[in-house]
Amino acid sequence: MNVVLVTQDDKRLSIPMGFTNCTGQEFCNLVARLDISADLRLALEQIAEFNENNIQELIHHHKSKLHFFNHDVTLVSQFSVNRLERFEQALAAWPGPVSVVIYLTNPHDIYTLIDYFQMDKNIYLYNRVSLTIIKPNYSTDYYLKYPINQLRNIGIKTAPTDYIFVMDADFVPTSRLYHFAFSTLIPLLKQSSHPTAFVVPCVALLESYRGKFPYTIPELRSLFRQGIAYITDPNSGHGPTGTNIFLAHQLYTSLPYYEVCYESQWEPYYIISKNAPLYDERFRNQGGDKQQHAFSLNALGYRFFVLKEHFIYHKDHPKIDWPDGGLRHGQLSKNQFNYFQHYIPEMQSIFGINVRWPRGCSQPLITGQMRDLLGIGIS
Q: Does position 134 have pLDDT exceeding 90, yes or no?
A: yes
Least confident of 36-45, 187-196, 296-305: 36-45
What pLDDT shows up at residue 85? 94
What pLDDT shows up at residue 322? 53
Least confident of 131-135, 152-156, 361-365: 361-365
Q: Does position 313 have pLDDT exceeding 90, yes or no?
A: yes
Q: Does position 282 have pLDDT exceeding 90, yes or no?
A: yes
**CA dist., res. 118 & res. 120, Å (int):** 6
Answer with the residue of higher pLDDT: 369 or 68.
68
**Mean pLDDT computed over every residue of the chain:** 86
Answer with the residue of higher pLDDT: 25 or 312.
312
**Half-sphere exposure of residue 182, counting CA atoms within 13 Å on the CB side?**
17
User: Regarding beta strands 2-7 and 31-37, do their DSSP bridges make them parallel or antiparallel, or are they unpaired?
Assistant: antiparallel
pLDDT tens digits, 71-100: 999 999 999 999 999 999 999 999 999 999
> Are residues 379 and 321 in contact, defined by beta-carbon separation less than 8 angstroms?
no
Answer with the residue of higher pLDDT: 83 or 25.
83
Confidence bin at 333 (pLDDT 50/70/90): low
Confidence bin at 244 (pLDDT 50/70/90): confident
What pLDDT shows up at residue 65? 86
pLDDT tens digits, 159-170: 999 999 999 999
Q: Does position 268 have pLDDT exceeding 80, yes or no?
A: yes
Cα angle for residues 163, 165, 169 (degrees, 5° grid): 150
Confidence bin at 54 (pLDDT 50/70/90): low
Contacts of residue 358, defined as CB under 8 A and 6 or more positions apart, other chains included, come to: 261, 262, 263, 298, 364, 377
**What average pLDDT does range 18-41 have in this prediction?**
71
**Half-sphere exposure of residue 103, counting CA atoms within 13 Å on the CB side?**
27
Q: Does position 28 have pLDDT exceeding 70, yes or no?
A: yes
Which residue type, as a one-letter code, is found at position 227? Answer: G
Helix axes 148-157, 289-299, angle to 10 degrees: 60
Least confident of 30-39, 76-85, 213-222, 284-293: 30-39
